[in-house]
């Protein structure tokens, strides 16, 4: 492995043409890392290759793009687990005495008796696991987001004529489709602090992602601007999964920047998009984007009619959103892995979630049943600079001095 | 000796006060007088006693009993004297709490050795009855390991007393192995193991003078080249006196030099010379330097040691080029701070990948590595002064005076000062105080050339939005970048003189004295003639007669803290 100093000159053989492009990368701006990504570079126009610039990132946070603000849940939040368990057990025919006995000292953590568990697991028909067979219980009609604002994308292209759509609280774009947010965000566990200037992560999203990113290979993004990032123009984006897992920084709360990742070449999780850079904001769309995750919590994040919007921030990090129509049942199934723990710890009424997702799904109708199988969704992305290399094309480059200096100390 | 017959079964691992008393008794007797009843051991006076360092202790246990024997516990702090921990090792004793720790470790190690898991492979015999004493078997084992632990054959008295401990304890606890473990523990916590005691004998080549005896010479040689007590082969050479012959001595030097353990010795020496013991307290403000994790601290130390071993041993490189070499090794974590991509097969974060900087890269040589620029910086900011001081003292062996007690650091610490935005600005203002200027002018012009390196070792070109000026000077040599400084150090004769001096002091276990001048001159000539190759330097030092000579004054010293040996030989001759 050898290093080079600025300006970097990297040689990358294109997958898509027979030519060999010698690429001169511009010095880094902000605290960003610049490196070659052969496949991405190959997408750029060879005539402009000399001006191409690539920035790569590893995803730090990935969470449901939620808006928490006045009027989002006008009827209040959904009941706590103790409340909906009592309601469901009552409906299932248990006597008040039985219910009182079961829920005495609820939830009974730390080794204390938890007599409620066997009851709530089969609270539909008394025998089947309710998480696997939520239809055994009637729809509890959980409260849904009914506010004006929400984050996401205008997926159906109908703009302000889109039914049940939101308005972006910051850009005031109308026709935002994000029914997943509508379904979940009046549930206590899916609440977070009041939004200010962008999507907010809920408590559960934070817990889920923090666990997920620890266990699965990292999500990485590599963006190549054909004319450099200081000029508006076309960009190509690779978003996918790496072969390596993340490394946490000294705080333990965030992903360490500057680490090196290798893109997983598996086409199931490697997505190439074309888009446009305008005043530091990158927009792109694709028929679909698939990101394999981890079987335990979320098997995959899948988006049909995918949209991507990313902001290159002055400190060198990246923030934005990815959205599209996601198959809703896998999302529900991911939550059922936690089962009653998810329910009692975060007040997630899983049968209620099942019915809400089914009801709010707004795309991909089943040919037989005509019921929609996908739901509009949007996830917020926060990412930090990283080196992202193609497998078998490991290259090296030297970090260049940072002209901007967020902490006043350089680097 | 404290009778141990009243000890209860299974309690020998943590017998606390009783064992400490026993050890203290051993300590007292060990330094009361020279051993008089040695059989084949040294018969002369003890002239030096260096305390085993933690690394040496661990290595000794591993060498004698195998790497599966775990050593846990806290070791006594080491003391740096005149630039080296090695020269401090002859100036330290054992505190009461340290004795407790040594006692606990000794019993833990002994318990492992005699455990069912290890006894079949580590013990040379089996007792006739596991529930009773077996003096013959115990004596066989204790004599064998005692030779290695004491670095000489045990005296009859020593062997008998330890065999008696094994027997008494076995009878009391109805367990041969518990008894043997107790006896072994007393060997391991003995000052005869914890202190590397070296004896002297009349020097037949220099009438009226003394030199180290064979076992003392073996210790001197092994500590120097391997950072470990002598192995069985070297001790056998001492016992059969072949170490006293030119041929036998040269053969042992060659063997030690050719061993893979030489790398361990080189690592230990440079860790000592470069002050790497400070890594144990190195940390950075996680808010300012989020990449600087504990793993980075570990990796940074290892990076420099790998670079040194690769350059000096593997590539057989010129010592001076250690300051400019573009070759190093990185992990993914170090790559994140250095700003270079590092991929390891399978994404293994602890994997080391060879890395070569481009010719025009601002980073090259060990002075640009985290082990120098971050180790000699503050938790929240860089420090040209600390870096300049470290370079003067560690790399050039020059003494920097201690700052006066009443220095006002307010301005230097004010990293957000709107008038003095860069460290250079603040230090320039600080130096206007006459009491500060004298010392700072010998440190700051060096350290300011490293200002491209932030406190965590990352690269930067600005501070508070102002471009960093990296011009500097080292004793008349001017430069304008870290690379320029590296070249200045590379060409500074003080750098080679320093490593030579430190090498010899490290081998001696004491700082240089006036009488060492002729030896240093001779070594210096040989070092230059070799092209400043460190392996040649090590071999030359190892074969220098003066390394094994005993100053006349040392004959009266017979206690811990007596320091080390190695008087100046009349000519500094080597063989």
Paired tokens of B102:
């040594």
Q: A97 with A200, same domain?
A: no
Q: Which among A2-6, A381-385, B13-17 has the top mean pLDDT?
A: A381-385
Q: Are A409 and A36 in contact (CB under 8 A)?
A: no
Q: A65 with A192, same domain?
A: yes
Domain's final residue, options A141, A156, A187: A141
Query: How many distinct structural domains can be found in chain B?
Result: 2
Name the residue range of residue A247's domain.
Answer: 35-71+142-397
Tell me if A5 and B454 make a contact (CB, 8 A cut-off).
Answer: no
What part of A 376-395 touches B (C-beta under 8 Å)?
387, 389, 394-395
Instruction: Please report whether residue B176 resides in a domain.
Output: yes
Q: A96 with A155, same domain?
A: no
CA distance A220 to chain B (A): 14
More confident residue, A40 or B395: B395
What element of type H or E holds A281?
strand A281-294
Half-sphere exposure of B71 (CA within 13 A, CB side): 22
Q: B432 with B351, same domain?
A: yes
Chain A CA closest to residue B330: A1
pLDDT at position B25: 38
CA distance B343 to chain A (A): 6
Q: Which among A50-54, B321-325, B429-433, B550-554 has the top mean pLDDT?
A: B321-325
CA R_g for chain B: 26
Q: A98 with A135, same domain?
A: yes
- What is the maximum alpha-carbon separation in chain A? 79
In percent, the amount of chain B with pLDDT more than 90 equals 70
pLDDT at position B479: 94
pLDDT at B222 over 70: yes
What element of type H or E holds A384?
strand A372-385
Instruction: Please report whether residue A357 resides in a domain.
Output: yes
Tell me if A405 and B381 make a contact (CB, 8 A cut-off).
Answer: no
Mean pLDDT of chain B: 87
pLDDT at B557 over 60: no
Quick one: how far is CA B545 from the chain centroid? Answer: 23
**What average pLDDT does range A302-307 have in this prediction?**
98
Question: Reduced to 3 states, what is the DSSP secondary structure of residue A353?
Answer: helix
Chain A residues with CB-CB distance to B361 below 8 A: 3-5, 398
pLDDT at A152 over 90: yes
Instruction: Please report whether residue B447 resides in a domain.
Output: yes
Q: Are A76 and A111 in contact (CB under 8 A)?
A: no
pLDDT at position B263: 98
CA distance B453 to B414: 19
Instruction: Please report whether residue A13 resides in a domain.
Output: no
Instruction: Please report whether residue A178 resides in a domain.
Output: yes
Tell me if B460 and A242 make a contact (CB, 8 A cut-off).
Answer: no
Neighbours of B410 (CB within 10 A): 10
A164 and B CB contact within 8 Å: no
Q: B184 with B310, same domain?
A: no
Nearest to A3 among B292, B357, B382 (CB): B357
pLDDT at B381 over 50: yes
Q: Are B165 and B123 in contact (CB under 8 A)?
A: no
Paired tokens of B79:
């003391």
More confident residue, B410 or A251: A251
Name the residue range of residue B67's domain.
Answer: 12-204
- Best residue in A241, A252, A258 for a mutation probing chain B (most B CBs within 10 Å): A258
pLDDT at A26 over 60: no
Q: A94 with A121, same domain?
A: yes
Beta bridge partners of A224: A54, A236
Q: A150 with A133, same domain?
A: no
pLDDT at A346 over 90: yes
Tell me the H-state helices in B206-260.
Answer: 214-226, 232-239, 246-258
In percent, the amount of chain A with pLDDT more than 70 equals 83
**What average pLDDT does range A358-385 have in this prediction?**
97
Q: A121 with A259, same domain?
A: no
**Sequential DSSP letters for B436-473:** HHHHHHHHHHHHGGGTTB-TTS-B-SEETTEEPP--EE
Instruction: Please report whether residue A411 resides in a domain.
Output: no
Chain A CA closest to residue B380: A409
Tell me if B343 and A260 make a contact (CB, 8 A cut-off).
Answer: yes
**What average pLDDT does range A325-336 have in this prediction?**
94
Chain B residues with CB-CB distance to A9 below 8 A: none
Chain A CA closest to residue B455: A409
**What average pLDDT does range A392-399 have in this prediction?**
47
Q: B199 with B272, same domain?
A: no
pLDDT at position A401: 31
Q: Kindly report whether the peptide bond that precedes residue A107 is cis, defined as omega within 30 degrees of 0.
A: yes
Beta bridge partners of A384: A58
CA distance B309 to A87: 71
Instruction: Please report whether residue A9 resides in a domain.
Output: no
Paired tokens of B231:
């192995």
Domain's final residue, options B166, B186, B204: B204
Q: A87 with A189, same domain?
A: no
CA distance B215 to B228: 14
Question: Reduced to 3 states, what is the DSSP secondary structure of residue B544?
Answer: strand
CA distance A239 to A220: 6
State the pairing for strand pair A372-385/A363-365.
antiparallel
Domain's final residue, options A141, A171, A189: A141
Chain A CA closest to residue B338: A399
Chain A CA closest to residue B287: A251
Q: B80 with B193, same domain?
A: yes
**Sequential DSSP letters for B9-59:** TT-GGG-HHHHHHHHHHHHHHHTTS---S-SSS--S-EEEEEEPPHHHHHH
Question: Reduced to 3 states, what is the DSSP secondary structure of residue B550?
Answer: strand
CA distance B415 to B466: 12
pLDDT at B217 over 70: yes
CA distance B230 to B343: 40
Instruction: Please report whether residue A404 resides in a domain.
Output: no
**What average pLDDT does range A314-329 have in this prediction?**
96
Nearest to B339 among A250, A258, A394 (CB): A258
Given CA atoms B75, B78, B84, B87 in this order, what sign does their dihedral have?
negative
Q: B358 with B438, same domain?
A: yes
Q: A52 with A170, same domain?
A: yes
**Residue B334, CA distances (Å) to A399, A406, B365 in order:** 12, 21, 15
Domain's final residue, options B475, B490, B505: B490
A411 and B CB contact within 8 Å: yes
Tell me if B452 and A244 make a contact (CB, 8 A cut-off).
Answer: no
Q: Answer left, alpha or beta for residue A7, where phi above 0 means left and psi between -120 and 50 means alpha.
A: beta
Hunting for tokens 């600025």 — which residue is that?
Answer: A6
**What average pLDDT does range B331-359 have in this prediction?**
88
CA distance B570 to B187: 39
Nearest to B341 among A247, A254, A260 (CB): A260
Q: Which among A225-234, B262-271, B423-432, B439-448 has the top mean pLDDT?
A: B262-271
Q: A129 with A175, same domain?
A: no
Nearest to A402 among B349, B353, B460 (CB): B460
Chain A CA closest to residue B337: A258
Tell me if A410 and B360 make a contact (CB, 8 A cut-off).
Answer: no
pLDDT at position B136: 97
Instruction: Please report whether residue B458 resides in a domain.
Output: yes
pLDDT band at A115 (very low <50, low <70, confident <90, very high): very high
pLDDT at position A393: 59
Paired tokens of B305:
């040691």
Question: Reduced to 3 states, what is the DSSP secondary structure of residue A226?
Answer: coil
A292 and B CB contact within 8 Å: no
Neighbours of B134 (CB within 10 A): 22
pLDDT at position B575: 53
Q: Burial, B488: exposed, middle or buried (Cβ in 10 Å; 0-12, 13-18, 19+)?
A: buried
Domain's final residue, options B490, B507, B540: B490
- Cβ contacts of B96 within 8 Å, gap of 6 or more: none
Q: A135 with A146, same domain?
A: no
Chain B residues with CB-CB distance to A220 below 8 A: none
CA distance B475 to B480: 14
CA dihedral in degrees (A355, A356, A358, A361; nearest 10)? 180
Instruction: Please report whether residue B217 resides in a domain.
Output: no
Neighbours of A252 (CB within 10 A): 9
**Residue B217, CA distances (Å) to B71, B240, B244, B271, B508 in order:** 27, 13, 9, 24, 11
Tens digits of residue pLDDT in A158-198: 999 999 999 999 999 999 999 999 999 999 999 999 999 89
Instruction: Please report whether residue B137 resides in a domain.
Output: yes
Q: B171 with B24, same domain?
A: yes
- Cβ contacts of A291 within 8 Å, gap of 6 or more: A219, A239, A240, A241, A269, A271, A300, A301, A302
Instruction: Please report whether residue A407 resides in a domain.
Output: no
Tell me if A3 and B356 make a contact (CB, 8 A cut-off).
Answer: yes
Tell me if B290 and A254 make a contact (CB, 8 A cut-off).
Answer: yes
pLDDT at B15 over 50: no
pLDDT at A302 over 70: yes
Chain B residues with CB-CB distance to A218 below 8 A: none
Question: Reduced to 3 states, what is the DSSP secondary structure of residue A183?
Answer: helix
Q: Are B503 and B511 in contact (CB under 8 A)?
A: no
Neighbours of B418 (CB within 10 A): 7
Q: Kindly report whether the peptide bond that precedes residue A31 is cis, defined as omega within 30 degrees of 0.
A: no
Name the residue among B370, B377, B380 with its Cα closest to residue B290: B380
**What average pLDDT does range B265-273 have in this prediction?**
98
Paired tokens of A284:
């792109």
Hunting for tokens 């330094």 — which residue is that?
Answer: B31
**What average pLDDT does range A236-248 have in this prediction?**
95
pLDDT at position B90: 86
Instruction: Please report whether residue B295 resides in a domain.
Output: yes
Instruction: Please report whether residue B321 resides in a domain.
Output: yes
pLDDT band at B418 (very low <50, low <70, confident <90, very high): confident
Q: A149 with A65, same domain?
A: yes
Question: Reduced to 3 states, what is the DSSP secondary structure of residue A44?
Answer: coil
pLDDT at B245 over 60: yes
Nearest to B291 among A2, A243, A257 (CB): A257
pLDDT band at A37 (very low <50, low <70, confident <90, very high): very low
Nearest to B361 among A259, A398, A402 (CB): A398
ipTM of the complex: 0.72
Nearest to B416 among A4, A244, A408 (CB): A408
Query: How many distinct structural domains can be found in chain A?
Result: 2
Instruction: Please report whether residue B225 resides in a domain.
Output: no
Q: How many CB pairs under 8 A join A and B?
A: 148
Tens digits of residue pLDDT in B35-81: 433 444 444 667 778 999 999 999 999 999 999 999 998 999 999 99
Instruction: Please report whether residue A262 resides in a domain.
Output: yes
Query: Which of B10-19, B79-88, B250-259, B290-299 is least confident?
Result: B10-19
Q: B292 with B156, same domain?
A: no
**What average pLDDT does range A9-14 have in this prediction?**
26
Tell me if A405 and B337 make a contact (CB, 8 A cut-off).
Answer: no
């Amino acid at each position: 492995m050898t290093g080079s100093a600025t300006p970097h000159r990297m040689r990358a053989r294109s997958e898509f043409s027979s030519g060999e492009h010698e690429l001169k990368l511009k010095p880094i701006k902000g605290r960003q890392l610049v490196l070659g990504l052969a496949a991405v570079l190959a997408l750029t126009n060879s005539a402009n290759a000399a001006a191409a610039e690539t920035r790569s990132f590893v995803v730090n946070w990935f969470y449901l793009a939620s808006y928490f603000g006045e009027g989002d849940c006008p009827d209040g939040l959904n009941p706590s687990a103790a409340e909906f368990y009592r309601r469901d057990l009552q409906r299932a025919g248990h006597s008040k005495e039985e219910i009182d006995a079961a829920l005495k000292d609820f939830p009974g953590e730390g080794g204390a008796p938890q007599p409620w568990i066997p009851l709530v697991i089969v609270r539909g028909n008394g025998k089947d696991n309710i998480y696997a067979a939520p239809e055994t219980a009637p729809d509890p009609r959980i409260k849904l987001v009914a506010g004006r604002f929400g984050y996401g994308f205008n997926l159906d292209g109908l703009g302000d004529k889109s039914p049940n759509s939101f308005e972006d609280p910051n850009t005031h774009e109308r026709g935002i489709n994000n029914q997943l947010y509508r379904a979940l965000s009046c549930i206590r566990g899916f609440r977070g602090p009041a939004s200010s200037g962008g999507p907010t992560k809920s408590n559960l999203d934070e817990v889920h992602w923090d666990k997920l990113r620890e266990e699965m290979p990292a999500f990485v993004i590599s963006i190549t601007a054909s004319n450099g990032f200081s000029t508006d123009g076309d960009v190509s984006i690779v978003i996918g999964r790496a072969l390596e897992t993340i490394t946490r920084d000294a705080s333990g709360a965030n992903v360490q920047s500057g680490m090196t990742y290798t893109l997983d070449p598996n086409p199931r999780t490697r997505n190439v998009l074309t888009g446009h850079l305008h005043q530091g904001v990158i927009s792109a769309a694709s028929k679909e984007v698939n990101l394999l995750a981890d079987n335990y919590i979320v098997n995959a994040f899948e988006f049909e009619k995918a949209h991507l919007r990313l902001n290159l921030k002055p400190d060198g990090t990246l923030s934005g959103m990815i959205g599209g129509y996601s198959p809703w049942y896998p999302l529900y199934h991911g939550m059922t892995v936690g089962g009653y723990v998810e329910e009692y710890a975060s007040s997630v009424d899983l049968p209620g979630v099942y019915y809400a997702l089914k009801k709010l799904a707004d795309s991909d109708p089943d040919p037989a049943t005509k019921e929609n199988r996908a739901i509009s969704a949007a996830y917020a992305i926060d990412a930090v600079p990283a080196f992202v290399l193609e497998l078998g094309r490991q290259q090296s480059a030297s970090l260049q001095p940072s002209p901007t200096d967020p902490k006043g100390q350089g680097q | 000796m404290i009778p141990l017959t009243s000890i209860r079964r299974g309690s020998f691992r943590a017998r606390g006060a009783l064992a400490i008393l026993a050890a203290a008794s051993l300590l007292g007797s060990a330094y009361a007088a020279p051993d008089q009843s040695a059989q084949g051991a040294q018969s002369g006076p003890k002239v030096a006693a260096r305390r085993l360092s933690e690394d040496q202790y661990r290595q000794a246990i591993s060498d004698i009993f195998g790497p599966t024997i775990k050593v846990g516990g806290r070791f006594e702090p080491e003391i740096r004297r005149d630039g080296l921990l090695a020269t401090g090792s002859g100036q330290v004793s054992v505190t009461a709490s340290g004795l407790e720790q040594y006692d606990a470790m000794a019993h833990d190690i002994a318990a492992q050795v005699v455990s069912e898991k290890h006894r079949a492979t580590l013990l040379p015999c089996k007792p006739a009855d596991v529930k009773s004493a077996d003096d013959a078997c115990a004596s066989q084992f204790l004599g064998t390991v005692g030779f290695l632990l004491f670095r000489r054959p045990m005296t009859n008295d020593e062997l008998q007393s330890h065999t008696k401990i094994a027997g008494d304890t076995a009878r009391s606890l109805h367990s041969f192995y518990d008894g043997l473990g107790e006896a072994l523990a007393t060997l391991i916590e003995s000052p005869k193991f914890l202190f590397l005691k070296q004896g002297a004998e009349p020097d037949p080549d220099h009438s009226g003078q003394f030199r180290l005896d064979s076992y003392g010479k073996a210790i001197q040689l092994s500590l120097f080249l391997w950072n470990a007590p002598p192995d069985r082969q070297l001790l056998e050479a001492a016992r059969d006196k072949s170490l006293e012959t030119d041929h036998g001595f040269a053969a042992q030097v060659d063997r030690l030099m050719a061993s893979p353990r030489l790398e361990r010795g080189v690592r230990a020496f440079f860790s000592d010379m470069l002050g790497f013991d400070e890594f144990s307290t190195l940390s950075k403000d996680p808010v300012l330097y989020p990449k600087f994790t504990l793993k980075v601290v570990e990796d940074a130390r290892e990076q420099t040691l790998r670079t040194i071993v690769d350059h000096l041993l593997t590539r057989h490189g010129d010592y001076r080029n250690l300051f400019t070499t573009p070759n190093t090794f990185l992990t993914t974590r170090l790559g994140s701070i250095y700003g270079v991509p590092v991929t390891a097969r399978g994404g293994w974060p602890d994997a080391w990948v060879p890395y070569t900087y481009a010719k025009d890269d601002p980073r090259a040589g060990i002075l640009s590595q985290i082990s120098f620029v971050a180790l000699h910086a503050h938790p929240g900011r860089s420090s040209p002064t600390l870096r300049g001081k470290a370079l003067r003292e560690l790399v050039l062996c020059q003494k920097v005076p201690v700052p006066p007690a009443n220095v006002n650091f307010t301005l230097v610490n004010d990293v957000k000062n709107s008038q003095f935005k860069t460290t250079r600005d603040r230090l320039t203002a600080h130096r206007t105080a006459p009491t500060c200027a004298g010392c700072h002018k010998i440190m700051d012009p060096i350290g300011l050339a490293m200002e491209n390196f932030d406190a965590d070792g990352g690269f930067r070109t600005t501070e508070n939005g102002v471009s960093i000026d990296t011009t500097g000077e080292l004793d008349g040599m001017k430069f304008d970048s870290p690379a320029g400084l590296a070249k200045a150090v590379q060409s500074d004769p003080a750098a080679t003189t320093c490593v030579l001096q430190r090498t010899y002091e490290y081998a001696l276990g004491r700082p240089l004295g006036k009488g060492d001048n002729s030896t240093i001159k001779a070594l210096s000539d040989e070092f230059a003639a070799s092209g400043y190759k460190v392996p040649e330097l090590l071999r030359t030092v190892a074969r220098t007669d003066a390394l094994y000579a005993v100053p006349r004054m040392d004959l009266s010293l017979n206690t811990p803290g007596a320091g080390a040996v190695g008087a100046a030989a009349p000519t500094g001759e080597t063989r």
